[in-house]
Structure 1
Amino acid sequence: MIKKRVSEFLIICIIGCIWGCKNRENDSVSETKSITLERFDQDLQKFISGNMSDTARFIKEYSDFLPIYCYGILNLIQNNPQDSLYSKTGLNKFFSNSAIKKLYKDTESEFKTTDDIESGLSDAFSRYSLLFPQAYLPRVLTHVSGLNQSIITTDSIISISLDHYLGASYPGYQNIYNPYQLPTKERSRIPVEVMQVLLYTQYPQENENKTLLDEMVYEGFILYTLQQLFPQKDIGEILGYSDNNISWCKKNEHAIWDKIIRQRHLFSTDLLLKNKYLGPAPFTSPISPNSPGRIGRWIGWRIVSEYMERCNCSLHELLEYPIDGEQILKVSKYKGKG
């Protein structure tokens, strides 16, 4: 039944192209959504130190996030339901650690101002509202996690762990992250990664039997949408690829596609194999040790780019349906050529 619905939708989509489907939003937006980061990290320190005049207001204002932060992110032990939130025992212990003190101090120094991040998010949220009129716009908070998850999302909140974005050369990262991970630690990555998490959250793919092609195409739609939200960024910036990575992909595009086909990986549902193509890694092992990691995402973006050239339809409608990679590939006419 789902397959039939998707096929019917694609037929409508193709007919729509003939009559002139909805055009892409241009590079200007008529109404800007103003995004202000809520500095939970700074308010929390006032709360812990006792320098906050209205602790009840703090607890109420962050009531949806504070338990998640204490018990989900920091993994504080909850001996008493009130203990870590009100007597601050667990929070004091966490922030008394010398390594965390240093990390927090460096984070607050790097993020004294966040105008650039707020500007990038405001512009992206404005475009997002045009592309996805029914989507919600969450509150955007900031926190320090001790290098736990970089971005946390709930039904109504996205919170950014600022200590993940202190720069690729930050000394504290050198013995924690692999070299291929360091380029993702720049503050300039924050707006893109926030919007990426929002897209994953609002448009998840529920099908448990997804093929590699299905997942590559889904990732391709995410990347293509991010291009519309950040038209000033090229695909390399959005992917976190270097110029050399992009150059390698373009030069070897046909060989990449040919190898995926020859190895009969395209319709595999094997989780380990899919992770080799799509998961963070120094290179994509089924392709070449010279390739960048997550090359399946780049191929997915190429397929979706060709598809959208032939059927420039609403991203909102496309992402609402379960992704049928085989149908999208067929319409795209993608053959592994740039």
Structure 2
Amino acid sequence: MWLCSACEFKFNNTDEKDHRSIAIHRFDRLESRYLTTGDFSALQQMNTDYPIETRTLIENVLNLGDVNESDINSRLLNYFQDALLQDVILAVDSQYVDMSDISKLMYKAFRRLGHAIPSIPIPEIYTQIGAFNQSIVVGDGMIGISLDKYLGNDFGPYAKFYNQQQRATMTRENIVPDCISFYLLSYYPAPMGKNEKETLRLKAVHMGKVMWAANKLTDSHIFQTAYVDRVEQFMKKHKNLPIKQLMELEDGGFMN
């Protein structure tokens, strides 16, 4: 038997009028300054003001080595001297001069998440340039947004590496839903099955739940898959089921 909350999706009417925002720390600006000019003061500020972000970028996103290695700064700088990556940095600088719209949407989404699952804290959010690696990184109560993965489906260099379906997800509009979905996944990871086939099925079901929840929390329809549609049909039959309980349902028996 499910314990239901009748007001789960009836978000406050003042939500749309709320213009508050979540601070997004612009680590990418210091990164850009160092990678385009070699400005040592920018590198120093990266290491002093953003030590976790710098370590994550170097060790986990770019996989350049240990952040404490003697030549790691030169390796980072040289890595981005490729002409394509320099163009990417310039595109990020141009397209993301202002992120106030994203900050406001982020506030609304995480406010809703806080109402839906109060035990999940609001994370620290920062931006970076990750050379087409991971779109979103989550860890230590932080979310890192790789702006190089959100330059628009018509950004020329993407065509060399991504198909049309992938490029359609690499837009400014995808940032907030992606942050919510990856953050939810960090608290509700996909289960493992007894074999590869079962694991794939469980993962598909689980991702359908996560994406459906992200759509609701961002008041969007960014994620559109067959499993999202199945969750939508399930939730129409269980209109009062809270997001928290949806996420806690066992994927193995869900929607059989």
User: TM-score band, normalised by the shorter chain?
Assistant: 0.7 to 0.9
Alpha-carbon RMSD across the aligned residues, in angstroms, is: 2.7
In the alignment, what sits opposite 2:7? 23
Cα deviation digits, residues 78-108 of structure 1 (max 9, x gap)? 5962432xxx211220222211111111111
Q: What secondary structure sits across from 1:238 in the alignment?
A: coil
Among residues 213, 222, 229, which one is paired with 2:210 in the alignment?
222
Write the letter of the residue equivalent to 1:173: Y
Question: TM-score, structure 2 length as denominator?
Answer: 0.84
Residue 103 to residue 313, structure 1, CA distance change in 2 (3 Å): same
Cα deviation digits, residues 121-172 of structure 1 (max 9, x gap)? 1110111111111102211111111111111111221111111111111111
In the alignment, what sits opposite 1:262? none
Residue 38 to residue 127, structure 1, CA distance change in 2 (3 Å): same
In the alignment, what sits opposite 1:162? 147
Distance 1:146 1:41 in 2: 12
Among residues 168, 171, 176, which one is paired with 2:161 in the alignment?
176
Aligned ranges 1:88-237 → 2 under 5 Å: 88-209=73-194, 210=198, 214-231=202-219, 233=220, 237=221
Say if 1:151 and 1:194, in contact at 8 Å, map to a contact too.
yes
1:61 aligns with 2:49: yes
CA-CA distance at 1:62 after TM superposition: 1.7
Aligned ranges 1:66-85 → 2 under 5 Å: 66-78=54-66, 81-84=69-72
Larger Rg: 1
Residue 41 to residue 213, structure 1, CA distance change in 2 (3 Å): closer
In the alignment, what sits opposite 1:8? none
Distance 1:182 1:141 in 2: 23
Q: What secondary structure sits across from 1:146 in the alignment?
A: coil
Aligned ranges 1:198-277 → 2 under 5 Å: 198-209=183-194, 210=198, 214-231=202-219, 233=220, 237-239=221-223, 241=224
Aligned ranges 1:294-305 → 2 under 5 Å: 294-295=225-226, 297-305=227-235
Residue 179 to residue 308, structure 1, CA distance change in 2 (3 Å): same
Write the letter of the residue equivalent to 1:42: R
Question: TM-score, structure 1 length as denominator?
Answer: 0.65
Cα deviation digits, residues 212-259 of structure 1 (max 9, x gap)? 66444423322332233123x2xxx321x5xxxxxxxxxxxxxxxxxx
Q: What secondary structure sits across from 2:137 in the alignment?
A: strand
Say if 2:55 and 2:67, in contact at 8 Å, map to a contact too.
no
Cα deviation digits, residues 259-307 of structure 1 (max 9, x gap)? xxxxxxxxxxxxxxxxxxxxxxxxxxxxxxxxxxx53x23432343234
Residue 214 to residue 308, structure 1, CA distance change in 2 (3 Å): farther
Unaligned runs of 5+ in 2: none
Q: Between the two proteins, what is the percent identity of the paired residues?
A: 23
Residue 149 to residue 307, structure 1, CA distance change in 2 (3 Å): same
Residue 83 to residue 76, structure 1, CA distance change in 2 (3 Å): same
**Count of aligned pairs between the two proteins:** 248
Distance 1:100 1:54 in 2: 18
Residue 304 to residue 77, structure 1, CA distance change in 2 (3 Å): same
Distance 2:174 2:86 in 1: 24
In the alignment, what sits opposite 1:323? 250
Q: Return structure 1 stretches of 4+ with deviation > 6 angstroms.
A: 30-33
Unaligned runs of 5+ in 1: 1-10, 242-293, 331-338
Write the letter of the residue equivalent to 1:60: T
CA-CA distance at 1:33 after TM superposition: 6.5
Write the letter of the residue equivalent to 1:36: A
